[in-house]
Each structure stands twice: as structure tokens, then as C-alpha cells.
Amino acid sequence: MTETSRLSIRHGRLIDPANGIDGLLDLHLAGGRVLAVGAAPAGFQPDQVLDARGQIVCPGLVDLCARLREPGEEHKGTIASETAAAAAAGITSLCCPPDTWPVIDTPAVAQLITRTADRAGWARVIPAGALTQGLAGEQLSEMVALRQAGCAVMSQADRPILNTLVLRRALEYAATFGLTVFLRSEAPQLRAQGCAHEGRVATRLGLPGIPEAAETVALARDLALAEQTGARVHLRGLSCARALEMIADAHCRGLAVTADVCAHQLILTEADLEGFNSQCHLHPPLRTLADRDALRDAVRAGLINAVCSDHQPHEADAKLAPFPSTAPGMAALETLLPLMLRLVAQGVLDLPSAIARLTSGPAAILGLPLGNLACGQTADVCVFDPEAQWRIGPETWRSQGHNTPFRGDPMTGRVTWTLLGGRIVHELRESPR
């Protein structure tokens, strides 16, 4: 990591969707904050100059869901290892779900995570506080105390609240104190023991299926309670077209709901399960091509406000079993930006919109002053070469988890520098091209 008090990034294409900036502009930093955009202030002499010629300069990426596995599952990953991977991927802020061990349902656990991340110094970790004690779905947590301890939002991670009255009370509590609640809508009874989308591929492979109704039935309940309580609700990891129709209808009724999608859901489909590829055992499951295309359309239209990694590193053995017995999830921090750039190359999104879904969109959901480069803001910056070619392999991978279906695949777009609060926390040592 490089300590620099004054720094200029010159000759790059600066894209800052939050402030409507897209042009060849220099960026000047001092004291960990953005000092000026464009011309340097009179008398400003940087200690270091980064030449971003031919590259994109944008706010540091903000990831709404990244499991760092610490505390409790350090054999899968640690805060240090996974935030180092985040820095290499241009991600400067990560929201950590509360399903750690112990659960993030007390201020002590939340503070442990933030202190550990601060000591590592690679990226900012924002814990999500547990909506209920122990994520058991029975007793409400001390949400206000959790917020005071640094939890920007409240969440159940992937754990359901079976008692609808408890969920209503939780949303009422959150609404009273202006808290945002992250919900992953899924009816556990309909999911049952499923491990793949309930469709032709699962049937042919003999895999137990998860119907889209597992998502939409729970989503209908969650939207009804959001409307009833007036709570600010963010719906995590949508996976099917019907769910998007329900979100659009909720917006028409004036509900304050937002939504995100995992980047791999915009690339992969149920067809990628062929050959029982356990690296594609994900939760929510990969669904049909029509669902994928609907998700793409929703991201392009802004119906989906953010794209996240849903990073879930695993040890190698977790994927070495019959498909239904493997652990769901993929290590995804380092593929987040390249997958979004793939969508840009395919004409699904323009580059400013793609960057918005990775910066200003998730920052607004968290309600934090991140994801923009306005003067005076914290100098979290990502500089990447959109044309750089690389391949996923041991020499290019930083995460402790190597569970990705994209291993060995060629990728386009690589981060050259990442700055956290004005400090260089990642620098590509080789030529970016």
C-alpha cells in the first residue's frame, strides 16, 4: 500500500455517473479526499502522478453482498484475503451479510469486523446487522444499536422469517428509525431440497428443482408488508422475469423498494449446469435464457438499481461431491467488473450505465456518501483498462476461494490502480495491455 497525501490522475476518461461526468478530465486528490476535477487548483503540486492514458477513471466500486467468511469460516476466506481480492478488482466498499459465526446481531461482532478490515487496510467493510437475533426469525435484534456500531442496513442474509407477524414488526421497527432492510425473497417450503431451476435442464439431469414461485410467492408477501409498513426495503438477488414484473408494479404504486442482481445471473443460464458443473451450483439458481434476458433489460432500464458479486468463497472440497451435495456459491469479486464490461461489449449496457450500477446505485441503497467523485468526497477511485486481456488462473487470482465457473476463461478489462481514501491499495505490476 502506498501512502500519498497529494496525487493526480491524468489523461484518463473520467466517468462519474452520480455527477453526470464523462470526459477526458484529470482528477486531483489531497488528504484522502477529492480536491478538484479537471484543472488543478492554483499552486497544487502532487507528490505522485498516475498516467491513466487510454484507461477509465471512476469511483471505487461498491459491492452490496460479499461474504468474507470471517469470523467463523476462516478456512474458506478471511477479511484480509477477500478485501485484498476486492482491492485488486477495483472494489473499495463491501457490504458483509450478517450470517457470520457468531451472527452480526450485537455491536461487538459488527465492531470486530470493521476493526479487522481497518487493520487489513485493503477495502472498507460495511456490516449488515441481523434483522432478528441469531437470524432465527423469532426475536427482533437491537437494530438501532447495530446501526450505531456501523451497520448501514439490516438483513436476514438468506435466512427466512417464517412468521409473517415477526417480519411485519421488524419492518415497522426499521421504518420508525429510518433503517433500510435487505430481504432475500424465498419461500423455504417451495425451495425444499432443490439445487437448480425447476425446468428442462434439471429434469434431464435428475436434479431437484427450485420453481420460480419460491421467489415470487415470498416476494409478494415482502412487497405487501413493505407497502403496509412504509419501510425502505431492498430486494436482494432477483433471478426471474416474473419477479421483475412485480417490482415494476410496486414502483407504479409508489413503494420505496430497490433491487439488485448478481453479475453472474446476467451471463449464465441453467444450460451451464450441463455436465453437473458444481461451480454453477448457485443460490438463487441459474434460470432460463428468457429470465436472464429479462434481468438484463431491467438493469438497462434502471429497474434494478445495482449489480453485486454475491461473493461466496469455498474451500476446494466444498465443490467436490455429487451436485446436490455441493455448497452453493461462487467466488466472484474479481469477475464483477469484467462481467459488466462483457455486457457493455455485447451492447446490453453503455459504459456509464454499467459503472452506475456498480458505484452510485449501490451507494444510494446503502445511504452512504460513496460511489462518487464530487469535490470533498472520500477519494475512493478505480482506474481500469477496458481493453486489457487476461485469463483467470492462480497467478491472477487473489481470493482464497477458487470456486468459479469462469476459471481459465479469457477476460477483458483489468484494474490498474485502486485507491482507498487516497491511498494506493492495488497497483498492477505488469503492463495493463
CB 422 within 8 A of CB 7: yes
Helix 164-176 vs helix 213-229: angle between axes, to the nearest 10 degrees? 50
The active-site residue out of 99, 260, 291, 310 is 310
- Where does residue 254 rank: exposed (0-12), middle (13-18), buried (19+ CB within 10 A)? exposed
Long-range (24+ apart) CB contacts under 8 A made by 247-254 are: 247/223, 247/298, 247/303, 248/303, 250/223, 250/226, 251/303, 253/227
Neighbours of 201 (CB within 10 A): 20
* Apex 343 CA angle, 341 and 347, nearest 5: 115
Neighbours of 203 (CB within 10 A): 11
Q: Using DSSP bridges, classify how beta strands 257-262 and 232-235 pair: parallel, antiparallel or unpaired.
A: parallel
310 is catalytic: yes
What burial letters (b/e) apply to 74-89, b meaning 16+ CB within 10 Å?
eebbbbbbbbbbbbbb
The three three-digit cell numbers of residue 311, written as one number? 461473493
Catalytic residues: 310
